[in-house]
A and B are shown apart, each in its own frame.
Chain A
Amino acid sequence: MAYLVMRGITKQFPGVLALDNVNFEVERGEIHALVGENGAGKSTLLKILAGALPMDKGEIILDGKPVVFHSPLDAMRHGIAVIYQEFNLVPYLSAGENIFLGREPRKFNGFVDFKKLHAEAQAILNRIGANFSSRDIVARLSVAQQQMTEIAKALSQNAKIIAMDEPTSALTEKEVEHLFEIMRGLKEEGVAIIFVSHRLEEIFQIAERITVLRDGKYVGTKRVEETNRDEVITMMVGREIKEKIPKRPAKIGDEILRVEGLTRKGVFSDITFSLRKGEILGLAGLVGSGRTEIARAIFGADPIDSGKIYLEGKEVKIRSPQDAIRLGIGLLTEDRKRYGLILPMTVRENTTLANLMEVAMRGFINFSRERAVAKRFVDELAIKTPSVEQLARNLSGGTQQKLVLAKWLFTKSKVLIFDEPTRGIDVGAKVEIYELMNQLAERGVGIIMISSELPEVLGMSDRILVIHEGKIAGELMREEATQEKIMQLATGGSIADR
């Protein structure tokens, strides 16, 4: 039996079955890759392994014995360490203090024995070939060095299994090489490593086995020498299209928006594309590929380093959301509660917020006009609310999304950017949102839709741009696009080499 066996793991979140009877196992001294699309359930599985989330069903068998983890500390005591993308380090303590945080060696008088602490920390850091001192302050270390600190912390707790969530995403090529050396070294020592990554080429370089999850389900496990990139991608994407996507192709008109060479250093570079009236342009790509950042830059929410934006053929300067709104660009942000709505305000107040001047005279709000506007949108978009005086906080996710849409419709936007428009929304409301997008396209609005759900991208887009690490990796027309092709581009492959 394998060293770690997770069997029949099931986890239900409100409205979503995040993990459905998932199996996963790791041998001693094995590097095992865990892959899947956004939302496939990798993070949830890691969190359950780390004791950070309880599972609803299933069992974990460690070294032949069934175990139950009630807390991260519990999992740690069993030799399991998880290194998340966001490091768990205290920035203004030294590396050594972080490594032994909460377990500092003490002198007879109860004070921390710093000499011993740093000696032991340094020994572990040397073991993994770290090029910095245990006394260095974490905030001044590079990302790669902070990662080594995390690994050292795991080793100081005698971790037998180290899980790393996207450990290479913020590293340079050289640093990735060093990380792989460390991983191989740990493997020699018999440590099992779970490697979660989107970068398939790296997985084929370092891992021995690959386990694929899709939509919370276990798809399969393959030895790297027995499989290839294409097969893994097919395993990742063969996603069923659960709901019917009611796309009505609209008449596509003249170019309305063009972006040339848009660059924000370190985030995205040389983004060039155009959008036409009535067109729905899908922006696909993995989470963190820079899609949202591109949208925010076009909207003026983040600054750009270079590049030009043309609206209806004329070059425009967009330095703030005000500029964008004045020019007729709207952004429906991915996190409605955090960026889209003022939750303690009413439906009425949220509807008019981005274009309040329209219902005001010389700075004074005309309340009857405002109420009429809000009522009109509540009817038009079938926003489910008892009245326009309802607080946005009390609405359901789908209704909130419609309210955000109402806000942008009231600004008479010519270009609307939808960022994950249906995330966290129930199926019925999803279809309604799609329907509204169809209507907008028919009215000649140009739509950019960012989405991690491939069926949605394929179903709604007239054209698809795939973003990979801040660059446009490829463009697909509606007719030629498939889940496999998108995933190839999104993971850094190209379609031509197939």
Chain B
Amino acid sequence: MPTDRSSDQLSFGAYLGNILLRYGIPLFIVLLCIYFTFSAPKFLTVDNLLNVLRQISINTIVALGMTFVIITAGIDLSVGSIVALSAVISTGVLKNGITLFGHTLQASYPWNVPFGIIVGLLLGIFLGLFNGFFITRFNMPPFVVTLAMMTIARGLAFIYTGGFPISELPQSFIIIGTGYLGPFPLPVIIMLICALLMHYILTRTTFGRYVFAIGGNEEAARLSGIDVNRVKLIVYTLSGFLAALAGIILAARLGSGDPKTGNMYELNAIAAVVLGGTSLSGGKGNIGGTFLGALLIGIIDNGLVLMRVSTFYQYVVKGAIILAAVLLDKIKEMRKL
């Protein structure tokens, strides 16, 4: 494919196509925004855009961990269930403490809220470690291990709650999901802090470099003295931790710890990561892309609701747009080669 051909020789359509290819997902987002602005008058308002950011914060946080996992050429299907389990455990613990073998450990007000949150986060870390342990120690496929964990964690969430949501949560907890700092919703701020942190870890640290190396060529990484198993263990732990954090924010926003929540979140997160240009075969990807991917999904969801498109159609449209966006990226890749 000649790349040195000047654009004036191309037809207008091809010219437009090239621009679309060059700027890919960001341009797609801009075009979509323009479209929604005209077809849904409420779309382009500060309130609505902040609303979009708040809506994507949960998915983005989950997708950040998923980005690390996918760059190592792995996958984590358990994150949706970990979101639910951490939501019910953190709310349950802050209300009722931990009861083990007849002994109850409960923090008193105001320490019950941080206690619940910490237990929820530790749980996410533990489940991520568990995933990573089986994947690295027994060389089991990540797909299978995390699929098993997806079922186990979901089951545990139901067992813990008896199937009923845990509600009537204290205001000091709910504020995490509903509060504002200045004009910015708290979940958005937490999301941005996490995204920046993950971006720095991925691009600036030796650990981030190793993540890319493992995804690019695991055996070569091992033969270069990289402790591949340790890096993978940390990656799955990180994914579990971020999923747990997302679960806590979600519970706070909904005002209840619901064992049915977080359904399909793993797929939304994978979609965001893939839209962001991270390759499922590993070795390539970035946090900015993941954020844009999550943003694109959020804008589609929001715009379609504002346009009063029926939920049933929303699924189809969303799927089609994801397919188109990734196709665009593939074409771009093929042109380059």
Contact = CB atoms under 8 A, between A and B. Distances in A.
Interface string B59-85: 000000000000000000000000000
B206 A363 contact: yes
B225 interface: yes
Interface string A329-366: 00101000011111111000100011011001001110
Contacts of A301: 222-223
Interface string B69-113: 000000000000000000000000000000000000000000000
Among B204, B209, B224, B284, the most chain A Cβ lie within 10 Å of the Cβ of B224
A125 to B, nearest CB: 36
Interface string B221-232: 111111100000
B216 A356 contact: no
A333 B224 CA distance: 11
B197 to A, nearest CB: 13
A322 interface: yes
Given A342-B216, A343-B216, A365 B225 contact: no
B220 A341 contact: yes
A486 interface: no
A340 B222 CA distance: 10
Contacts of B225: 320-322, 324-326, 354, 411
B206 A344 contact: no
A324 B204 CA distance: 26
A357 B207 CA distance: 10
Interface in A55-93: none
A353 B206 CA distance: 9
Contact of A333 (B213, B216, B223): B223
A227 to B, nearest CB: 44
Contacts of A411: 225
A345 B207 contact: no
B217 interface: yes
A349 B219 CA distance: 16
Nearest to B208: A365
Given A365-B204, A365-B206, A342 B220 contact: yes
A365 B226 CA distance: 15
Nearest to A340: B220
Contacts of A339: 217, 219-220, 223
Contacts of B204: 364-365
B212 interface: yes
Nearest to A363: B205
Nearest to B281: A344
Interface residues of A, number: 29
Interface in A189-219: none
Nearest to A342: B216
Contact of A321 (B213, B216, B217, B223): B223
A364 B205 contact: yes
Contacts of B220: 338-342
Contacts of A340: 220, 223
Contacts of A360: 205-206
B227 A349 contact: no
B219 A342 contact: no
Interface in B191-245: 204-207, 209-210, 212-213, 216-217, 219-227
B219 A338 contact: yes
B206 A321 contact: no
B219 A353 contact: no
B286 to A, nearest CB: 13
Contacts of B227: 320, 322
B298 interface: no
A168 B300 CA distance: 64
A395 to B, nearest CB: 15
A361 to B, nearest CB: 10
Contacts of A349: 209, 212-213
Given A321-B224, A353-B224, A354-B225, A341 B206 contact: no
B283 interface: yes
B213 A345 contact: yes
A345 B216 CA distance: 8
Contact of A342 (B205, B206, B217): B217
Nearest to B221: A342
18 contacts: A301-B223, A321-B223, A322-B225, A333-B223, A339-B217, A339-B223, A341-B220, A342-B220, A343-B217, A344-B216, A345-B213, A345-B216, A349-B212, A354-B225, A363-B207, A364-B204, A365-B204, A411-B225
Given A354-B225, A360-B205, 9 more contacts: A321-B225, A339-B219, A341-B220, A342-B216, A342-B220, A345-B212, A356-B209, A356-B210, A363-B207
Interface of A: 299, 301, 320-322, 324-326, 331, 333, 338-345, 349, 353-354, 356-357, 360, 363-365, 407, 411
Give 5 closest A-B pairs by Cβ, nearest first: A342-B216, A325-B225, A354-B224, A322-B225, A353-B224
